[in-house]
Amino acid sequence: MILRPGLKDFQVVGLYVGKVVIGIGLLMTVPLLVSLYFQEWNATIDFAIGISACLLFGYSMEFLCYTRRDLTWTHGMVVAALAGLVAKGFVAIPYDLSGHFPSFLDATFDAMSGLTTTGLFVLNDLDHISNALNMWRHLITFAGGQGIIVVALMFMIRGTSGAFKLYVGEAREERLLPNVIQTARAIGFISLTYLVIGTAVLWVLNVIEGMSLERGFFHGLWLFMGAWSTAGFAPQSLNLLYYHSLLIELATMVLFIIGSFNFALHYAVWRGDRREIYRNLEIISFSITVAITFTLVVIGLTQLNIYPDAMSLFRKGFYILISGHTGTGNQTIFARQFVNNWGPLAMLGVTMAMAIGGSACSTCGGIKGLRMGILFKSLGYELRRLISPESSVVVQKIHHIRDTILDNRMARAAMFITICFIFINYGLGTIVGVLYGYPLSEALFEAVSAGSTTGLSVGITSSSMPTLLKVVYMFQMWVGRLEFMAVFALFGFVFAAVRGE
C-alpha cells in the first residue's frame, strides 16, 4: 500500500523551496548593483522585478507552509529536485525581460543551463547584452556549481535537523566537517578563495592582452566563474576564441581542472595531505580516462592532418578534450568544426570524455570518475575472486579520502547510476535528436553534452531548434545534475499524492 503524503509533507517541501527562491532573489542584488554601476536602467528594472517576484513567492511560501516538522529523507530529495525546477523559472525572469529571448521557454532553457552548470545557451546576440545580464549569467553558474541547496545551507537554513537530508538530495554525500552547515560554508570558503585568486590572474592577463582595467576585471571575473563552475559560459559569443590568448587558455584550463575535483579532495589538500592527489581513486580514474580519450582524439585528428604542429594540437585538441572531460564546455574551435573538420573518431573521444565527466561532490556532471573507478575495481575484484581458492577471503579496497572496503552495495549503486545516465539520460536525448533528423553522431554528441552538463556543442543548440528538443535537453540537465535519485523521489512523491491511500 502506498501512503498519500499529508498536508504537513507538502508544507515542509513548500517551506524549503520558498527559502531557496528567497536565496535566488538575494543573488539578484549583485547584477542589480552592476546595472546601477554601468547605468543600465532597463536592466535595473528587470532585476528589481525579479527580486520582487522571488521575495514575494518565497516569503508567501514561508507564511503559508510554516511548520515545525523535521525533514525526512524523502522531503530532502523532493526539495532538491523541485527547487531546481522552481528556481529556474525565477532565474529566467531577468532573462525574459531583457528582450534577448524569443520566448519564456528559451529564457528558462538558459536558466536551467546556468543552474546546472551546463553552458549550452540559446540567448540571442550575446555580444550586446548588458553587463548586468552577463553578471547574472555567470553568477548563477557559480552558485549552481556549489549547488543552490548548499548556498541555502550556507546562509539561510541554520541549524535545521534536516540539513544533511537536503545536502544529500542534491547528489552530495561527503562531509568535509562533522556538521553539514559547516561543510556547506567550507565549500563556499574554498570557492571564494579561488574566486579571488582566479579573477586576479585572469584580470592581469586580460590587461596584458590589451583590455582596460575595468573591462579586464569583469571579463576576468566572468571567465573565472564559467571555468571554476565547469559551466563554460563566457561573456562573448566566440567563447575562448574571442581572446586569442594562450595564457588565458592555460589559466582557464587549470581552473576547470581543479574545479572538477571533489571538494573533499580540495579540503584534504588544504589541510596538508598532498599525497591524496596521487592516491585518490578519482584522480587515478580521471588520469586514465583522459589518456584513453585523448589518444582517440590524437589519432582522429592526426589521420585528417587537421593540426600539423604540437601547439595547435594542444590548444585545440587537448583543450577541448579536457574541457569536455571536466564538464566545462569552453571552446577554442567553432561548433561546426567538430563535424566538418574533426571527423568521427575525434568526436567519439570527446563524447566519451563528456559522458564520464569529473569528480563526485564537485561542480561538474557526468557519470563521474569515482563510479568509473568503482566499476573497474569491482571487475578486478570479481576476476581475483574467480581465480582464488574457494577457502580464501578476497577483499578489495579503494582509496577516496580514506580507505574503504569495496562491497556489492557500492558496486550495484555505481552500476545503477551509470546505466541511468547511459539509457535514460544520454539515450533519450540522442533518440529525440535523431527523430528530428540530426545525424546520429551529432545527436549523440549534443545529448551527452546536455546530459553530462558539459556545454560543448556541434551547433544543434540554438533558439531555432525544435521546442521538444529544448524541453528534453532541459530534462537531461536537471536529472544529470541531480543524478537521478532526487528525481525518482519527486516522481514517487507525486505518484503517491495522486494514487496513494
Q: Tell me if 294 sits within 8 A of 352, measured CB to CB.
A: no
Band (178; pLDDT cuts 50, 70, 90):
low
CA distance 32 to 41: 10
pLDDT surpassing 60 at residue 161:
no
Read off the pLDDT of residues 62-82 as tens digits, 9 standing for 90 and up: 999 988 887 788 888 899 899
SS3 29: helix
Q: What is the dihedral of CA 26, 30, 35, 37, to 10 degrees?
A: 130
> Could you give the CA distance from residue 103 to residue 20 in angstroms, rounded to a whole number?
25
- Tell me the C-alpha distance between 213 and 312, whole Å: 30
**CA-only gyration radius of the chain, Å:** 22
Q: What is the DSSP string of 95-132?
A: HHHTT--SSHHHHHHHHHHHHTT------S-GGGS-HH
pLDDT in tens, 91-127: 999 999 999 999 999 999 999 999 999 999 999 999 9
**C-alpha dihedral (344, 348, 350, 351), degrees to nearest 10:** 120
Longest dimension (CA), the chain: 77
Any alpha helices (H) in 209-275, and if so which ranges?
A: 213-228, 246-259, 263-270
Q: How far is CA 67 from the centre of its chain?
A: 32
Cell numbers that stand for 41 in this block: 536602467
Find the range with the poorest average confidence among 147-156, 216-225, 258-267, 464-473.
147-156
Distance CA 162, CA 87 (A): 20
Q: Do 320 and 292 meet the contact criterion of CB atoms below 8 Å apart? A: no
Q: How confident is the model at residue 363 (pLDDT cuts 50, 70, 90)?
A: confident
Give the three-class secondary structure for 398.
Answer: strand
Mean pLDDT for all residues in the chain: 90
Contacts of 466 (CB under 8 A, 6+ apart): 436
